[in-house]
Amino acid sequence: MLSRPRTAFFVTVLACLPITLATQQRAAADPQIPDDSRPDIVLTLSGGQRPLVRLAIPTAGFGGTASTEGATAVREIEGTVRADLDSSRIFVIQGASELAALQLTGDDARDRELYRSLGNEVVLHMDLQEEAGRLVLEGRVVDLESGQTVLGKRYRGEFPLARRIAHTLADEVVQYFSQRPGIALSTIAFVSDRQAPYEEKEIYLMDYDGWNQRPITAHRSLSLAPDWSPDGQLLAYVTYVRGSPGIFVADFQSNGEKRALVTDGTLNSSPSFAPDGRRFVITRSTGGSAEIYAGDLGGGALRQLTYSPGIDTSPAWSPSGREIAFTSSRSGSPQIYVMDSEGANLRRISTVGSYNDGAAWSPDGTRLVYASRRNGTFNIAITDLVTLETSLVTGGRSSDESPAYSPDGRKIAFASSRSYSRRRETQIYVVDVDGANLKQLTSEGNNYSPAWSRRRP
Amino acid sequence: MSRTRMLSAIGLVGLSLVIMGCPKKAPEPVPPPPPPPVTVPPPQEVAPPPPVVDETPDPWSGEIEEINRMIVEQGLVGDVYYDFDKFDLRPDAREQLAKNAQFIRQHPNFRFTVEGHCDERGTNEYNITLGQGRSSAAVGYLQSLGVANGMRTISYGEERPVCTQSGESCWQRNRRARFIVTGK
């Protein structure tokens, strides 16, 4: 019933949309962000054909002792679920404040009518309990027309896991209504100099919403350019810990243990995993020009894929495994190319911009996102690989680079200098592919090169 | 080989002549000392003369840090500069490299590391390879000038700027190849 679009319903959604968006923009607007550097908001209804689902989220019930810990957990879970569902852009949500005027009776049928009277289609009930020092969250999605519970989930965990429990419920709700996995449990790897600004850089992880930032390397060196294996178990990165830049891998199946992958030669950089999680591509130089090489985690000789006297770098293996996007200066300026995984069938992708680099594939393999230099500054651009049409995701005068798609292909994380005032500063942001919902995720030190995991390690 | 042996034999004969002559003069009380025996045979036939001990210390014999400090202070080896997004050598870069080559040739035992650096304007990822191109171009030119010292290249991309302000004067200072002595 919910998946069938109804004309009358659709009109209602459109009429209400500006209110919701205004709220989201206010939430996203950071006081540090100057207005002229914000991307233009070009709104299209998310998902194209699918109408938004009108969802009521009343205040969560709390059935345990009124401990401070419990009260904090309730607020945290409510806020996290709300933010996750807002961020998915498949709902129009009425939360506690919008529902405050309703005189709820406690009678299910009567209360459903009250929720419906405000235009809601479904309601998400959340009930928390404290059991033996642990948190229990029960989430129920009820169809307001039929009264049926269409989704019911129960989670149990320690209090520090409250946000993770909330993300898990939110992903289930998103999956139910959109038939695709949510991204609230995905992880972003990035580079930060916060421990020794402008001196050392370490690899960090954070939740997709910027929470829970923690270092995973302690090389006390320059560590750069992380890339996830598709299963989220391995993270390849560049580090100078042995002098020359070499490729290391952190293995989350072995407690995040680090091991050297390719360290000989004068330069090894820009690792990217193949979808099989075994093969990888890197940029490499043994004294001559930098070229793209392919290798295998199991060992064996590296295979050279490009031969050009200029620079070839920033390889990215396609989700299908058949192609590799990369940057080459062979035309005289850095531009984006795609070749097959054997190095043949080269074609140029970027046609606008004097300097394009850092291509990343959309999860469905139909688009490339990259940093494109226009009028002296980098913006984030997306090129459709079928039509070769290019659109800009960000604008303004700040430098935006190192874009990475979210696992659902609907958001892009990137590094930007847009927040700096007196001193140049680089931070990580997330924005929807249509330029809406810009959100700053980092603020401590400088932060670079986000890499978005497909799954949580 | 045989020539060396022959010279040694001549030297030995000369020495034995001197030794044989000594006993005659032995009974005389406190004679003036004889001239040093080495002056008797042709000196080059005995052994090469001991190296001349220069009392002034070699200014380049210190620690590597000290050497690098002196090179900078005396302007003996300088940074080589590049255009934005380029690793081609400009005329001023070739001049600087020729000047660097003079000092580097005079110290064939010094091993150099040539660092490639970039300004902040390119992307971090591309700049790592661009910096490698810059250091390789500098080393390649030195080799074409006949410099045979050991040279290692490394790129820091835009990760180790010498100047952190925005503006062309600062950016130019960061688009460079830097020479440091890292071994001898």
SS (H, E, C) A292-324: EEEEECCCCCCEECCCCCCCEEEEEECCCCCEE
- Considering the domain architecture, whether residues B32 and B103 belong to the same structural domain is answered as no
% of chain A exceeding 70 in pLDDT: 87
- Considering the domain architecture, whether residues B84 and B175 belong to the same structural domain is answered as yes
Report pLDDT for B82.
98
Report pLDDT for A15.
29
Sign of CA dihedral A29, A369, A371, A222: positive
Token pair of B15, please?
């020495």
Contact list in A for residue B160 (CB cut-off 8 A) is 222
- Considering the domain architecture, whether residues B42 and B82 belong to the same structural domain is answered as no
Q: Token match 């970027």: residue?
A: A350
DSSP structural state of residue A444: S
E strands within A232-388? 234-239, 246-251, 257-262, 267-273, 279-285, 291-296, 303-304, 312-317, 323-328, 335-340, 347-348, 356-361, 367-374, 377-384
Report pLDDT for B169.
93
DSSP structural state of residue A201: B
Q: Which of A341, A288, A334, A286 is nearest to A313 (CA)?
A: A334
Alpha-carbon gap, residue A448 to A360, rounded angstroms: 15
Give whole-number Cα distances, B105 to A378, A396, B145, B147, B158, in Å: 43, 51, 10, 6, 30
Q: Token match 């002034």: residue?
A: B56
Q: Which residues pair with B25 in a beta bridge?
A: none
Q: Phi/psi of residue A8, each to 5°?
A: -60, -40
Q: What element of type H or E holds A83?
A: helix A68-88
Please indicate, yes or no, if residue B115 is contained in any of the structural domains. yes
pTM over 0.95? The answer is no
Question: Is the domain A7-178 a CATH 1.10.10.10 member?
Answer: no
Contact list in B for residue A287 (CB cut-off 8 A) is 136, 153
Report pLDDT for A63.
79
% of chain B exceeding 90 in pLDDT: 61
Report pLDDT for A288.
84
Alpha-carbon gap, residue A130 to A138, rounded angstroms: 12
Task: Name the minimum distance, in Å, from the CA of A288 to any CA of chain B.
Answer: 7
- Considering the domain architecture, whether residues B167 and B82 belong to the same structural domain is answered as yes
Report pLDDT for A14.
29
Of the candidates A283, A402, A423, the beta carbon closest to that of B123 is on: A402
The mean pLDDT value for A400-415 works out to: 97
Averaged pLDDT of chain B: 82
Alpha-carbon gap, residue A385 to A70, rounded angstroms: 50
Q: Which residues pair with A186 in a beta bridge?
A: none
Report pLDDT for A9.
31
The mean pLDDT value for B137-157 works out to: 95
- Considering the domain architecture, whether residues B104 and B40 belong to the same structural domain is answered as no
Please indicate, yes or no, if residue B53 is contained in any of the structural domains. no
CB contact under 8 A, B126 and A357: yes
Report pLDDT for A81.
98
Please indicate, yes or no, if residue B52 is contained in any of the structural domains. no
Alpha-carbon gap, residue B83 to B176, rounded angstroms: 9
Which of B83, B85, B132 to probe by mutation at the A interface, max A CB count within 10 Å?
B132
How far is C-alpha A167 from the chain's CA centre? 14
CB contact under 8 A, B136 and A449: no
CB-CB contact of A52 with A121 (8 Å): no
Sequence-distant (6+) residues with CB within 8 A of B106 are: none
- Considering the domain architecture, whether residues B32 and B78 belong to the same structural domain is answered as no
Statement: residue B120 has pLDDT above 80: yes
Report pLDDT for B50.
67
pLDDT-based confidence at A67, cuts 50/70/90? confident
pLDDT-based confidence at B42, cuts 50/70/90? low
Q: Does A227 or A396 have the greater pLDDT score? A: A227
Report pLDDT for A33.
34
The mean pLDDT value for B17-29 works out to: 45
Token pair of B54, please?
């220069």
Report pLDDT for A198.
86
| CB within 8 Å of chain B, chain A residues 346-405 | 355, 357-358, 371, 378, 399, 401-402
Statement: residue A4 has pLDDT above 70: no
A60-66's contacts with Cβ under 8 Å and 24+ in sequence apart are A60/A126, A60/A127, A60/A128, A61/A125, A61/A126, A61/A127, A61/A128, A62/A127, A62/A128, A62/A129, A63/A127, A63/A128, A63/A129, A63/A130, A64/A128, A64/A129, A64/A130, A64/A131, A65/A130
The mean pLDDT value for A232-260 works out to: 96
Q: Token match 């390119």: residue?
A: B122
Question: What is the residue-wise DSSP string for A86-115?
Answer: HHHTSEEEE-HHHHTT----S-HHHHHHHH
Please indicate, yes or no, if residue B55 is contained in any of the structural domains. no
Q: Which of B47, B40, B3 is nearest to B18 (CA)?
A: B40
Q: Does A76 or A49 have the greater pLDDT score? A: A76
CB-CB contact of A275 with A229 (8 Å): no
CB-CB contact of A303 with A293 (8 Å): yes
Q: Does B30 or A302 have the greater pLDDT score? A: A302
Q: In a 3-state reduction of DSSP, which class is residue A375?
A: coil
pLDDT digits (tens, 9 = 90+) for A251-296: 999 999 999 999 999 999 999 999 999 999 999 999 888 999 999 9
pLDDT digits (tens, 9 = 90+) for B51-92: 666 667 788 889 999 999 999 999 999 999 999 999 999 999
Give whole-number Cα distances, A304 to A237, A342, A394, A427, B18, in Å: 20, 9, 35, 34, 74
Parent domain of B20? 2-46
Axis crossing angle, helix B91-106 with helix B124-144, rounded to the nearest 10? 60
| CB within 8 Å of chain B, chain A residues 242-281 | 243-245, 266-267, 269-270
Report pLDDT for B49.
64
Number of structural domains (chain B) is 2
pLDDT digits (tens, 9 = 90+) for A86-101: 999 999 999 999 999 9
Question: What is the residue-wise DSSP string for A396-437?
Answer: SSS-EEEEEE-TTSSEEEEEE-TT-SSS---EEEEEETTS--
Q: Phi/psi of residue A33, each to 5°?
A: -85, 115
- Considering the domain architecture, whether residues B175 and B94 belong to the same structural domain is answered as yes
Of the candidates B132, B160, B164, the beta carbon closest to that of A285 is on: B132
- Can you give the length of chain A in residues? 457
pLDDT-based confidence at A375, cuts 50/70/90? confident
- Considering the domain architecture, whether residues B72 and B162 belong to the same structural domain is answered as yes
pLDDT-based confidence at A66, cuts 50/70/90? low
Lowest mean pLDDT among A77-81, B17-21, B35-39: B17-21
* Cβ count within 10 A of residue A104: 12
- Considering the domain architecture, whether residues B173 and B102 belong to the same structural domain is answered as yes
Please indicate, yes or no, if residue B57 is contained in any of the structural domains. no
- Considering the domain architecture, whether residues B91 and B41 belong to the same structural domain is answered as no
CATH of domain A187-452: 2.120.10.30
Which of A242, A247, A311 to probe by mutation at the B interface, max B CB count within 10 Å?
A311
Q: Where are the domains of chain A?
A: 7-178, 187-452
Token pair of A288, please?
């001559």
pLDDT digits (tens, 9 = 90+) for A297-322: 998 999 999 999 899 999 999 999 99
Report pLDDT for B35.
55
The mean pLDDT value for B89-106 works out to: 97
Statement: residue B167 has pLDDT above 60: yes
Task: Name the minimum distance, in Å, from the CA of A428 to any CA of chain B.
Answer: 14
Averaged pLDDT of chain A: 88
Statement: residue A11 has pLDDT above 80: no
Sheet holding A400-405, edge to edge: A400-405, A411-416, A427-432, A439-440
Task: Name the minimum distance, in Å, from the CA of B138 to any CA of chain A.
Answer: 12
DSSP structural state of residue A159: G
CB contact under 8 A, A224 and B152: no
Q: Which of A105, A10, A113 is nearest to A56 (CA)?
A: A113
CB contact under 8 A, A270 and B154: no
CB contact under 8 A, B126 and A314: yes
Query: Could you tell me the maximum CA-CA distance found in chain A, to the nearest angstrom?
Result: 77
% of chain A exceeding 90 in pLDDT: 79
Please indicate, yes or no, if residue B127 is contained in any of the structural domains. yes
| b/e sequence B127-145, b meaning 16+ C-beta within 10 Å | bbbbbbbbbbbbbebbeee
